[in-house]
Chain A
């Protein structure tokens, strides 16, 4: 059994290295304005937040809908602490340049964003994690909305810039290596987000396959039995909630880099639903599924299904129905089909490293 798992791990490792190499090569050869890179950058960001949501919903059985709120916290913390001091006068033009007058390194600011999200998760977890299923979902959804309102509040303007957007902080394009004239010599603006979210997802996978991950899955399967096995429910649920929120915060910082601006009003509950959708389509309880489906989802919504929003002509025939907004109709239909006929999603609860590469059905081994 152990051997088989190792084969799976090596194949996974190989696939991941290939993907990274492909991303790097594509970035050097294909013009950087291509839609492909938009999809890859946003996909990498969404992959992380989807996996973090899966850690809660899929592996611990806590149905939380606060992801957008935690992303918002991460995005703001990142933005607030990385805007260059020289730009602050412009960005905080209504608040006299803001209160914060220093900048932190990008990585530190991202981790700080994650920690802030985890801290808020800890606080709201104290009352909220006593609730079960639907009630918990409603409470966390409410939390996300409250966070959004607070960050838009003008009273906090000197820090959050009120309802105005934060901008001018380092974004993905700043990772490109340029020569003295400002011409890009090595493109890294897609590879870096891949590496960021790759490291985070690796940590989550390690966690899921550790003793704590098994305890999380035990709680999901049967709370009463898990408690009888000596697993402290409150402690473990809080742990899962904080860790998931930490990574949601980090992905929020990545989203800020992707968007190049941050504005609280874009972190709506619709965003949480998008992430939930990715988790469901990918398969609840599968990290691989979440990653795959986030790229698929982003590619469809940003790229492949865009044509549905424009008038299309086949010869002289104008295709009916295609007009602005039709893409969303098609999307909803796809979702209904998935929910009705493919309830287990793309991967079910399987993982790339557990797939059977010999072609024979086998019983699932470690790590689910």
Chain B
């Protein structure tokens, strides 16, 4: 049982099937406290789908997701899907009651995420974007908030948002519109916004997408830095191999929805299956 205390996120036999298309097939993985784990794989391998299963955007077709030992998503093929189901372990969870949570519940539990294509609140300033992240830990209701009876909480949230912006290096741009910031800074702002929800697990979906090598290097040390500072566990999808190899403790490799390898960066670099998957795709 000591293993459960250590495990922050565990996916068990997760299958995600859309109609006849199996996006993820029987994916099992584990992220332990304090780790940085990367999920890599060629385009269309199902990495973002895996994230969406964890964060409640999708209900997995089959399998269980545990967060800190508790199941946060559980499902088995139902209805039409019973006949259509093309994944494995079809009957494993048949007797269990499905567990479904909306994304906001998942965030409440302590899983925050960023998006592959940046999704900032476009009409609002950088500061307000971060401030919105503090909304879910509110103790005020709509009346106390409207009539400013929550002034102390509001002040604390504003200070927290300012502090987070300082940590990600956006203090000077805090009153600028979020979408007018340069790309790299928008990525950092998204991370700051996610941190404002007080997560214990941070999911980063391609945090370095569209960054140049120098920015990518900076991002790597930044991720390690915030991980240590906020005692986080980080699970990320990334294509920049330098970044992945530099900072991750362990790597999972997906290809066509199936996990093809798992291990430390050194092991993955030498793994012939991984090399074949990547080079095979390249040659096509």
Contact across chains for A364 and B135 when beta carbons are under 8 A apart: no
Describe A's contact surface by its main secondary structure.
helix
Segment from A18-26, A115-123, A230-238, A337-345 that makes contact with B: A230-238
Q: Is the CB of B197 within 8 A of A364?
A: no
User: Which A-chain residue is minimally distant from B173 (CB atoms)?
Assistant: A363
Whether the Cβ atoms of B132 and A231 lie closer than 8 Å is yes
Which B residues touch A215, using CB under 8 A?
A: 132, 135
Partner of B146, one of A206, A230, A285: A206
Given contacts A229-B136, A230-B108, A230-B135, contact A365 B125 (CB under 8 A): yes
CB contacts under 8 Å to B, within A341-368, are: 349, 363-366, 368
Asked if A230 and B107 sit within 8 Å, CB to CB, the answer is: yes
Q: Is A224 an interface residue (CB 8 A)?
A: yes
B-chain residues with CB within 8 Å of residue A217 when the two chains form the complex: 121, 123-124, 128
Tell me, rounded to whole Å, the shortest Cβ–Cβ distance linking B133 to chain A: 5
B128-A227 in contact (CB<8A): no
Q: Are A239 and B142 in contact (CB under 8 A)?
A: yes
Asked if A214 is at the interface of the complex by the 8 Å CB criterion, the answer is yes
**Docked-complex contact B124 and A368, CB < 8 angstroms:** yes
Q: Which residue of B lies closest to A217 (CB)?
A: B124
Q: Could you mark each residue 218-235 of chain B with 1 if its beta carbon is under 8 Å from any beta carbon of chain A, else 0?
A: 000000000000000000
Q: Is the CB of B135 within 8 A of A232?
A: no
Determine whether the beta carbon of A211 is less than 8 Å from that of B157. Answer: yes
How near does chain A come to B154, taking the closest CB pair, in angstroms?
Answer: 7
Query: Which residues in A have their C-beta under 8 angstroms from that of B177?
Result: 363-364
Instruction: Please report the total number of A residues contacting B with Cβ < 8 Å.
Output: 33
- B197 x A221 contact (CB < 8 A): no
- A222 at interface (Cβ–Cβ under 8 A)? yes
The yes or no answer to B140 lying at the interface (CB within 8 A) is yes
**Given A1-B175, A231-B132, A364-B177: A207 touches B122 (CB 8 Å cut-off):** no
* A203 interface contact, C-beta 8 A: yes
Q: Which of B112, B122, B135, B193 contacts A221 (CB 8 A)?
A: B122
> Is B70 engaged at the interface, CB distance under 8 Å to the other chain?
no
Instruction: Kindly report which residue of chain A lies nearest to residue B121, judged by CB atoms.
Output: A221
CB distance from B151 to the nearest CB of A (A): 11
Tell me the bound Cα distance from A299 to B142 in angstroms: 35
Assess A212 versus B102: contact at CB under 8 Å? Given A231-B135, A368-B124.
no
Chain A residues with CB under 8 A of B133? 229-230
Q: 26 A-B Cβ contacts within 8 A?
A: A207-B142, A210-B145, A211-B135, A211-B154, A211-B157, A212-B135, A214-B124, A214-B128, A214-B135, A217-B121, A218-B124, A218-B132, A221-B122, A221-B124, A222-B122, A224-B119, A225-B120, A226-B132, A228-B55, A228-B104, A229-B104, A229-B197, A231-B104, A363-B177, A366-B128, A368-B128
A binding-site residues for B, Cβ under 8 Å: 1, 203, 206-207, 210-212, 214-215, 217-218, 220-222, 224-233, 239, 243, 285, 349, 363-366, 368
